[in-house]
Every structure is written in C-alpha cells, then in structure tokens.
Structure 1
C-alpha cells in the first residue's frame, strides 16, 4: 500500500459547484458579474492565459484551439455572451485560507473563481485552489474530501471550518455564495422542490465535484491502492488513522480498471469517478504541460460532460413532475427542450485528438451519459404519445361541442329567433320571448362567441410558433 508519508511537489484542485438559475435575465447577470470584477473569458484575450492560475502558471490558449471539434468550440468558446453557449466569467482571488478538518489544519490558496452561465438555466461555479508544496499526499486527499462538502449533513462531514480574511465559515456553500460571488444570489432558483440557495434536487448530495492535479516525486510508486483512494477521496478516519473504503484487492483492481486512464502509465494516470477527475503523476519533466491540460482542454472536457449529465437529469426530473392530463403547455415546452438539447448540444464525438476522445469516453462512462440520453429519448417518445392522446381528446371534445351547437342552433335555435335578427333589430321583442326562445338566443350567441375564441386561440398559437422559430434561427 502507499506510504502515508509521501508528499506532493504540487497539488491543484478545482471544485465545481452546479447551481440552478432563474429562467431569465442571464444577460443582466453577466453585466452585473462584470461590475463585480468578473471578466468574460475569451481565447482571443492573451491576458487570460496567466491571470487566473496563480503566479507560476501560464496556460496557452493554443492548447484549447483545435482540441475540440468545430461544433463543440461554438458551445465552449465564444468571444461574447451567447445564450446557446457555456459562458465563462472568471475573477482572480489570490488569497490565503486555512481549512481545519477533524484531523488536520491545512493552509491553501484560492487562485480564482469561475462562473459558467449555461443554457437550460444551469450554472457552474468553479473554485480554483492550490495546496502548499511538500504537503503529505493523504492530507491533500483529506482537503479535497472536506472542502467539497457544501453543507454538512452527516456526522463524518461535520466539524470542518474554513478561515478566510479573518472570517470563519462552517459551510462551503455560504463561503462560496456569500463571500466569493454574492452577486449570483439574486439569480438563483429557489423554487425547485427541496432546494435552497440554487441547489439542484436531481444532482449530487450537497458536494462539489473535484478536478485535481497531484504531482509526486519521481521516486514514488503509484499503485492501485493510491488510485483507489483518489477515486473515492479516502484519506483518514475520525481518529486520524489511514482509511480506505475497500479491502478486497480484486475489487480495487476491477474498480481502477474501469475508472482510470492509463495511457501514460506508470508515470501518469487519470482517475474518473462520481466524485473526481484527477491526474495523478510523478512525471516531473512534463508536469507543466500536464497542469496546463488540467486547466485547459481537460477542464472544458469535464465541464461539457457535467453539463450533459445535469441537463439530462433535469429533463428526466421535469418529466417526473408533469401532470400529463392537464399540463399540455408544459409538455410542449419539455418536448422543445429535449429536441433543442439533442440537436444543438449533445455530441458523442467532441475532440479531434485521440487523447481527447479517450478521456471523453471515460467521462461518458463514469457519468452514464449514454444511458441517461437513451432514457431522455424514451421520454420524448412518451411525450409525443401523450401529446397525440391529448390532441385527439381535445379534437373529440371540440367536435362534440361543435356538433351540439350545429344541431341545436341550426335545426332548433335559428328557426325560432332568426326572423327577429333581420334588418333593424327590434330589441323590445326580447322581452316577449318564451323560455325556449331565450334558450335558442343564448345558444346562438354563445356559439358565435366560441367560434370567435377558437379563432383567437389558433392565431395565438401560430404567432407563438413563429416567435420560437425566429428565436431559434437567431
């Protein structure tokens, strides 16, 4: 097993916090973010190559160019805010902090923060951190495991405290929202069931996703136990003893086989799981490029697949809340959302490079993108069936109403009072009508009104369809 005294040459962690945004004013949000010091991230701005990654790191934008296929570049890299793209806003922080876990006091630096405004009212907040040199490997995992907890719910998550600018925080969610990006709070969606502060009810259990880069000395041996600990962020138990959440060597080997990318073994491994996407390396010679990749192409690769997973879960969740028999408009909206997502956003080939394709496949497998997408496609088929059923039901009801009006007003009603409507109408005759004549008058007038309203509804739907078509084309 891995020696718990091994140390890191460099440890970098990016924590991704998914949030739910209200369904409007995204451009207003982007304007307010820029007033608070956030900058729209653009590959054309060379200053952004070094501004958000600390003083020792420069991430060339050329690493991102031509890494993704053109239709993916349109989603990830726009030069200004675009409603159908992942719009990244970044802000440099460069502050020292301390995280106090039940067994360690860990100093670290917050380098910067990203806020990515995505389509479908999704947001992604990334907190970019760096650990001090020569920190023990397991202490780094302890930091990753505890910092990612947004709101402690269970016993082994409680007791963690963060100090920042002489302030103390017991919840990472409050620290991120209240301290690092308070301007986002008015735009968070708190209307979802069982949610607070913009959380997503269908995604993760109040913990952030971790993207890490852990560089060790060349003399280190990277074994399966070490990689398994990274995959599950295992470090120490409450008593301060080294901890691993499995003891069966065969199980550990099988897990690592399914959750690691070992193209550059034994010097470098990429570990993917529901908790983390981390590069574990002892390749000091190529360490600069490895870190650049984690800040650049691999970071965007991860964001894209997190976005895929969140939207697919959101669409399934929205379907579960539908009242199929009553919410026809919501059915149409959900059909439109699924169709839009399938046509414009989700692609299973995203990179032109072999490395990008293989890491993308690892993320797809870990996040279960294809099964989720198949489920959403089945949902779309069910929605179409339900919509057809509702349309048929509505047509039958409309036909019944029109038949009744036609029979009664044509055969019965019009024959009674139609003579009184010719020429100049003598309204005084209304006072002399019998009960049956009043009934026929009501039926005739209500029939005209119903026809007029049906015409207005048809015109409204035509105008609405035209509006969405024009908006889509723009």
Structure 2
C-alpha cells in the first residue's frame, strides 16, 4: 500500500462504533444458551418496551423509538426482526449495558474507549451475531487515529501485518489481552460453550468455515469539528479503514484521484452532502457529519435503530448465501442423498421466510438497502443459490428416476417368473414340516423356484430395513443443517 505523509487531517469530536461478529451456535442447545445469557445479565429485547432505550445502551442523549422501527420496516419483515417471544421464529436479541472503560495499546499510543453495551442476536438457522458498541474517548482525535483503532479492534485473528501489535489493557487489573481473549475471556466468556467450530479449521472463524475473513464488520458514526471540510480523500479512507501503516504513518491505499472517485461512486450515499455522508464497503458502514453533535440527535437515533437493523438483515443475507454455497461444495453426491434434500429445504425455507428485496417503507431505507445489497454482492450470490437449487433438483430427480428404474426392473423379473409358474412358486417338499429334498435332486425349475422365493424374501427384508435406516439417518442428518429456527 502506498504511504502518504501529507494526508489532510480531520479531527473527530465523537466516534460511535459498532462491531459485528457472526458465529455459528448449536441449535440443539438453544435453551441452554438463552439461560446462560440471562444468567449473565442480558435482557430480551422487545420493540414495545422502553427499557432498551436507556442512554447506557446507546450513549448520551441517544434514544431508539420502537414506533420508528415499526414504521420503517414492512410488516412481514417487522415480525421477524422483532418477534414478541422466544417461541416465535426470527431474530432474538439479548442486550446488556456494560459501561466499562478500557484502553488499546497500539505501538507507542494508548487509545481509551468505552464498551457501552453488547448485543447477542440469535438469528435463524443456527447463525448468531455478537455486537459490541464502542465509543472512543479521545477528544479531537485525528481521523487517522480513529480508523487505526477501528482497523485493529476488528481483528479477531490478526494475521495481516497491518493488523498486528494491538493489545487491550484492563485498568482495574493491569492485564493485557489479545482481541480474541478480550472478547471470549473477558467480555463474553459464556459464549465459548455455545460457539460451534469446524473440526478442519482453526481460529474463531472455524465457527463459520464459509466466511471469508477473520475480522469483525465495522459500523461507525463519526462527528467532526463543526463545519470541517469532508473531502473525497477522507471518505475513501473511511470506507477502506485506511488509518496508519505498521510504522505509525497515516496512509491511503490509492493515489489515483480517478480511482478514488470511481470507488466512491459505488460506495457513497451523499443525499445530505456536504454535511453528512454514508459509506458502505466490504469493510464497514460509516456515517460522518460535520454538524454539531447536539443537532444530530435524530441521525444518531436512526444509526442505532433503523440503520442498525437494515445492516444486520443484509449482513445475515450475505452470511446465509455464503453458507448455502459452502454446503453445496461439501456434498458427496454418492453418499449425501438426504443431505441434498435437507439443503433444498434450507434454501426454500430461507427464500420464502426471510429473503426479501423490499424491506423498508421509506425512501431512505430503500436507498440504504440497495447500497447494502450492492456492497455485499447479494444479488449475484442469490442468483448462484438459485442455480444451485436447480442443480439439486436435477440431481434428486435423476437419483429418484434411477432408483425407480431399478425397482421396476426387479419387479418385472419377479413378475415374469411368477407368471411362468402360474403365480405359484411353492415346491411340495416345502409344505411338509421337515421334508425338504436334498438340493442335489432338485430339477432346474425347482431351483429357479427356490432362488426366486428366497431372493424375494431377502429383497423384502432389505427394503424394510433400508427404509427405516434412511428415516433414521434423515432424522439425524437434518440436525446438521440446523434447518429450523426454534
């Protein structure tokens, strides 16, 4: 990445950040997970209750109105995002106010921040989200420092050079932790027993072997000094989280103004320019404004409420579509007949119950939805899933046709032989209690009768045993895809 030493400075007065971490959880232990959340101080979110609107959840002066959430989404989306009870299908959110002040040691700098609150959202199909709300405490921090903090905080497994070197300092104990240990040992130790892990993959994202990154998705609301100029350079850096290089120098990942403009044309929502911008990229979703904080009460409320759920829903779409593609690639066609059926059912249930192109009643919501769909490449992914579904149907039809042809072939043979014998395959010796002849004395026709009778009995027994075995295997393998959100 090209290093820039003369980048424009832009001072922040407030920085609200939200970090989203998807993971897989065991649906068979759902009740145990819920009990663990409630025992750890997490409350179940209901849209018609005001307990979740406290400042301790979102920050000073920020409230999220339930009525606004209701009017923002279409009814068929609303009752899935905000189910009235744990027995209903949908997204079940548990929230806890944390209010802990910690620091990040990064090179020779110490960044102070507050963990405002944490959401654990149990989504459908065994997908869950850990959401951390973080406020930076550094007054008048430069944009480079803010983006550098976000880039390092999001790295659960810092495999890249530019993500390494950060540790979290707990003031009360002086303990220093990596980001992974900070989340799973300090903030949410109860999650360890709920997170699923793929046996073939190491690290946190073995929980989602189809996910492409080991970093959290960042959402932020940045407030600059009043009246500050927000340039294309700033917007590009925000969208790509271009903070500082490993040696602490501010940097930007492009020096070509035309490239920067083309990139922003795909990721920038400038409806309220020049005082407020929204940027959505594969790294994060950010809102930045140069208006005074006291004038942004409504915008902050939308960011914490309607925009939060809009982003969450489309992020869920992306995770689920990647999951289906991954499951398809894992099929062993000779062995996984019932796995194929489960995958077909998974696609159909997801498409009919949760996947919608139109989710918001407002023009702003429609514009943001379109931006998220483009950012997460949802339409091409869904088209790929549709093609996958067609291939699965063809495979199932061919498999069923092959089995039917084989069954007809066997029945035809038995029907012909039985017809030749006048539907009577009984040998007189068999009627006596113990008067069977020596096999060596059987005629050719008696041998045919014996073989046909024994084979028929054997095939009948095989069909009965295999049918019950398939039912048993189907019941067990149905759990592998976590088909239903309970």
In 1, the alpha carbon distance for the partners of 2:83 and 2:29 equals: 19
Q: Is 2:299 aligned against 1:290? A: yes
Q: Is 2:243 aligned against 1:238? A: no
Q: In the superposition, relative to structure 1, how do residues 421 and 44 fare at CA in structure 2: closer, same or farther (>3 Å)?
A: farther
In 1, the alpha carbon distance for the partners of 2:484 and 2:125 equals: 14
Alignment match, 2:150:
144
Of 87, 95, 102, the match for 2:107: 102
- Aligned 8 A contact 1:325 1:390 in 2: no
The TM-score normalised by the length of structure 1 is 0.91
Aligned length: 466
Encode CA deviations 1:276-309: one digit per residue, 9 max, x unaligned.
1010111225311111111100000010000000
The TM-score normalised by the length of structure 2 is 0.88
Alignment match, 1:176:
183
Relative to structure 2, which stretch is displaced further, 185-194 or 356-365? Answer: 185-194
List alignment gaps of at least 5 residues for structure 1: none
Higher RCO by CA contacts (8 Å cutoff, separation 6 or greater): 2
Alignment match, 2:167:
161
Displacement of 1:169? 4.8
- Aligned 8 A contact 2:18 2:132 in 1: yes
Q: In the superposition, relative to structure 1, how do residues 269 and 445 fare at CA in structure 2: closer, same or farther (>3 Å)?
A: same
- Aligned 8 A contact 1:27 1:81 in 2: no
Displacement of 1:158? 1.6
In 2, the alpha carbon distance for the partners of 1:413 and 1:196 equals: 69
Displacement of 1:168? 3.9
Q: In the superposition, relative to structure 1, how do residues 167 and 376 fare at CA in structure 2: closer, same or farther (>3 Å)?
A: farther
- Aligned 8 A contact 1:159 1:170 in 2: no
Alignment match, 2:262:
254
Alignment match, 1:372:
381
Encode CA deviations 1:396-454: one digit per residue, 9 max, x unaligned.
222233334444566479866443455xx51x224634486677546424413433553
Alignment match, 2:3:
none
Of 200, 203, 210, the match for 1:202: 210
Encode CA deviations 1:5-36: one digit per residue, 9 max, x unaligned.
x3222101000011112242223322221122
Displacement of 1:324? 1.9
SS of 2:86's equivalent?
coil
Aligned-pair Cα RMSD in Å: 2.8
SS of 1:24's equivalent?
helix
Which aligned pairs between 1:105-116 and structure 2 lie closer than 5 A? 105-116=110-121
Displacement of 1:157? 1.8
Q: Is 2:23 aligned against 1:19? A: yes
- Aligned 8 A contact 1:104 1:139 in 2: no
Alignment match, 1:335:
344
Alignment match, 2:92:
87
In 2, the alpha carbon distance for the partners of 1:275 and 1:314 equals: 19
